[in-house]
Structure 1
């Protein structure tokens, strides 16, 4: 893989992870209102906009990435974001990392390495 492909891949994963974290922060923001007022409060939450901006950046990076790698390889490499999101979830939100999740992360990492070498 070229340095540009690696840069686009890592940037894509970073923006996807940032977007997921931003949406999680928005989702857990306290609000005591229901219905339409809940959604209006959510629209005013800066984390929603950080998440949307991150997803737009991720989308553009993904398109650039796909111009350089086959789709079958790109999709497998993109699965690495599962690992970053699980780790960030553990660090920021104290989410549980079970033995099965850790084994899954190791298998995904091995798969990404094999795909990257092909």
Structure 2
């Protein structure tokens, strides 16, 4: 497997994990109407901090991806995060997923396959 493929997969995995962490963190925050508790919690909530750390890793991975591939190819391939986040939110967070969402994810994935075929 080429370095580019490994890095793109790692980028998508980081994005999915980061979004799941942000969602868990957001769900644990006090109400935004209570600014005295809400604002400090933004900087101390463990899930939010984990999401930021994962995005730090993703930033480094993404810069390497951009060193290896044109942005017009790399960015569409990174859009696999749409499918990954939808599936992960359904399986891990138990969020509902409709047929329309799955159909949209299939269309996005088909578009990504077209872009990938130009590599």
TM-score for the superposition, normalised by structure 1: 0.90
Query: Shift of residue 31 of structure 1?
Result: 3.2
Aligned residue for 1:28?
A: 27
Aligned residue for 1:99?
A: 99
Q: Report which stretch shifted further, 43-52 or 27-36.
A: 27-36
2:16 is the alignment partner of 1:17: yes
Q: Deviations over 1:35-62 (max 9, x none)?
A: 1322212322111111111111111111
RMSD value, Cα: 1.6
Aligned residue for 2:113?
A: 113
Distance 1:35 1:64, change over 3 A: same
Q: Deviations over 1:56-97 (max 9, x none)?
A: 111111110011111111111011100000011111222221
TM-score for the superposition, normalised by structure 2: 0.89
- Structure 2 gaps of 5+ residues are none
After superposition, residues 1-118 of structure 1 pair within 5 angstroms as 3-29=2-28, 31=30, 34-118=34-118
Q: Alignment length, in residue pairs? A: 117
